[in-house]
A and B are shown apart, each in its own frame.
Chain A
């Protein structure tokens, strides 16, 4: 008995693995990293240093080392930068030229010596806006590999870092995956600095914080947490920091890597962190008290904490009139249910609950199914699978070829299959409706999860009818209800939230009514704006532009 329960407890421990990685893990990693750096050789001697650089970086063609002397010939220096990432014109005009200048009237020509070179050059000589000093070669190399330039001075241990990052980048364009009819056209780009500037431009508040972290042993990717210091819940912020700090992996190439490392339930089908390319959407999230995680080299920003129903909302809801917002949100809720349940419900109804069909429909479906060689479950699974194949085939192909695929797949094969009696027309309608419904969900990652869950639901429907479907839905619900995203229940605001927040799932309030930030986020400052802002028009007689004033003297006589 005891042994059993111990075993059971152990099993449970494995199942319910702790939400947070152990704190120790982070420190262990830090210690290891610092040990590794401590043994790296370094030398103030310029030649030795350049040799060390060559040893460490190898014969990389894009690494430029440019040794030179100062204008007065007293100091030997070297520039170290990566070609293509540093601004060469800036270097030659604003760094090389002033240092090498041999005009004797210049102060630095007179005073420059090896012992004061670093300080003097930084303060006086170079015309570069961003400078820093690195304590050793390792730190300097890290900056060099990010596009900055290191200025090595012979005999000086410290290294001057010049901010010369400049590389060709993609322009800020409209995000293709989240286009909107109304709203700004700017989307994030691959360049972190551009992205942060895009956010800064929207939120010009002194409390906006951009907190830089790093992850990736080999990529050392920059990760920036963006939040407003007095809106974000400190617990959530600490949690996010800790989880990101605990990432110790080779590479972070996309924010998807981070998402998987920091999400609460890695084994859950549903996405637990929303992502966006839209700057306005990210800004809105920040203003609600959420945290944006920007990752270098990807335009996809993560939003935490995430509620499930965020996936059903689009930026446009807030720009169009509130009624449209209401209609769209209701529509998306329906669409979500259709995308998840429709094929399963159809299978359940035509194999178990035929009574639910109106008699004429029952007769026509029965007639259409005459001669279909497989049971409805198999038919549904086959059609759904076919649809997935078609979609997948279309996604990767160039647009022109992709259309051909969908025409051949959808029209030709579909029509032939019906004519051949392989599938029934009603099933084609159901599958096609479901497919369209799936595409109507704004968030692709949520839609794809629903698509995945459709298959077990169809099987359950084929086995147990609507009872099976309900069984499946309840298992999904247990999952969802048990989930938390950074301490906030995933089903907020429908479960757990206030009534006011819950209503926002179905309707977006007019802006003059949107007084509060979501309560479940635990922001220190919930109030969003002043109350009583609805515009109330003056009585007609006090209106400004009456007929007399616009010169329409005949208005009264008509």
Chain B
């Protein structure tokens, strides 16, 4: 077994929450305002709910193959060759996803805080830090997250609370003026992010109580959806949908507008620092999944040797994947949701589950599941 650590369902939920949430709050509000206008907040929550089917899929798969990650049971289900291919596909997914996240992170920091600093600087330091966390293991990441989640969520809620004076909720109207079309288009974006709950497929066997996997994952999805909705409502109320749509980082501008008595103002840098912590966790989790997956697919005794090579690839990809910010934005709003949902967060899991049912369940699995239930 490559991972000896165990995390509690609560820790898993918190990890998944952070995995979804860290970047969703920065990028998604403006993308959704662009697609869904006034109804972006509806789209935010509807999209979040779309994370639940993915979760149900991977939890079902995990329950049918207890003690195995998606990299392992894909081999059980699809056979050695195709299983390994599917496993490698998932490793690529995590790697690619990680690179995209790192790129988002670097782009935000260079655009909003340190324009003179090269992108690669932020990307490489983040990956270095995450590499260290990954080597330290899943338990360490989970414990760090317990610490940081408090910081990230409370700072975000504080920001929202402080901005209430600037709200003009009339911007949320008219509701559904254009019908459900825009809402669905916006929801797809939110769904693309919340389908990242597929990470549960890797974490599930390491839960102390795997039977709680669905509950903790659902809590993560709903919490993220709820806070995202809150964030979208706030952004819309402060700026109006047309303005939010043109902002690259709505949250950043949002913090700009807070001014409590000329004193509590201009603290984007603090928000940035806290957000850095959030993305660090997100990157660590994704990175960990990629490393563990590669280790399991290659049948290594230890995943740690592949951490650094993967990191180099991830950091390099993050710099070279997109030529400029516009490509990244286009990718995030138009390509990523469709790509990740059809292939990795819904398509392949569905295929695997079907395969798993076709193969029938091995006897020992049945017993294990009965125990779980």
Contacts and interface: CB of A to CB of B under 8 A. Distances in A.
A358 B262 contact: yes
Interface string A1-13: 0000100110010
Given A465-B269, A481-B143, 8 more contacts: A8-B308, A12-B302, A352-B114, A352-B269, A465-B113, A467-B113, A470-B276, A474-B280
A163 interface: no
A466 B270 contact: yes
B273 to A, nearest CB: 4
A478 B304 contact: no
A200 interface: no
B129 interface: yes
Contact of A466 (B135, B137, B142, B273): B273
A496 interface: yes
A50 interface: no
B305 A478 contact: no
B146 interface: yes
A494 interface: yes
Interface residues of A, number: 28
A343 to B, nearest CB: 16
Given A9-B305, A12-B305, A481 B272 contact: no
B269 A355 contact: yes
B267 A478 contact: no
Nearest to B301: A9
A478 B114 CA distance: 25
A531 to B, nearest CB: 25
B114 A475 contact: no
B257 interface: no
Given A471-B125, A482-B136, A495 B144 contact: yes
Nearest to A4: B305
Given A465-B114, A495-B143, A496-B143, A478 B133 contact: yes
A496 B273 CA distance: 24
Contacts of B92: none
A494 B147 contact: yes
A353 interface: yes
A469 B308 CA distance: 24
B269 A475 contact: no
Given A467-B113, A467-B114, A474-B280, A494 B269 contact: no
Nearest to B284: A478
Interface of A is mostly: helix
Interface string A448-469: 0000000000000000011101
Nearest to A12: B304
Contact of A358 (B129, B147, B263, B277): B263
B277 A470 contact: yes
A8 B132 contact: no
A475 B144 CA distance: 11
A478 B305 CA distance: 19
Interface string B143-163: 110111000000000000000
29 contacts: A5-B305, A9-B302, A12-B135, A12-B302, A352-B269, A356-B266, A356-B269, A358-B262, A465-B269, A466-B269, A466-B270, A467-B114, A467-B273, A467-B276, A471-B129, A474-B277, A474-B280, A477-B147, A478-B129, A478-B133, A478-B136, A481-B136, A481-B140, A481-B143, A481-B144, A481-B147, A489-B139, A495-B143, A495-B144
Contacts of B270: 356, 466
A14 B140 CA distance: 19
Nearest to A349: B269
Nearest to B137: A482
A380 interface: no
A9 B147 CA distance: 30
A491 interface: yes
A477 B266 contact: no
Interface in B355-373: none
A401 B122 CA distance: 50
B255 to A, nearest CB: 12
A125 B307 CA distance: 75
A448 B132 CA distance: 25
Nearest to B117: A464
Interface string A481-503: 11000000101001110000000
Contacts of A478: 129, 132-133, 136, 140, 144
Interface in A210-257: none
B30 to A, nearest CB: 23
Choose among A12, A353, A473, A474 the residue with the greatest number of B CB atoms under 10 Å from its CB.
A474
B292 interface: no
Contact of A494 (B129, B137, B146, B266): B146
Nearest to B306: A5
Contacts of B122: 467
Contacts of A356: 266-267, 269-270
B109 interface: yes
Interface in B303-336: 304-305, 308
A9 B174 CA distance: 61
A192 to B, nearest CB: 37
B280 to A, nearest CB: 6
A491 B305 contact: no
Contacts of A470: 273-274, 276-277
A482 B132 CA distance: 11
Contacts of A489: 139, 143
Contacts of A355: 266, 268-269
Contacts of B262: 358
A466 B270 CA distance: 7
A475 B147 contact: no
A419 to B, nearest CB: 31
Contacts of B141: 481
A356 B268 CA distance: 8
Nearest to B308: A8
Choose among B136, B142, B144, B274 the residue with the greatest number of A CB atoms under 10 Å from its CB.
B144
A80 B262 CA distance: 83
A151 to B, nearest CB: 57
Contacts of A475: 129, 132
A8 B305 contact: yes
Contacts of B266: 355-356
A478 B135 CA distance: 10
Nearest to A492: B143
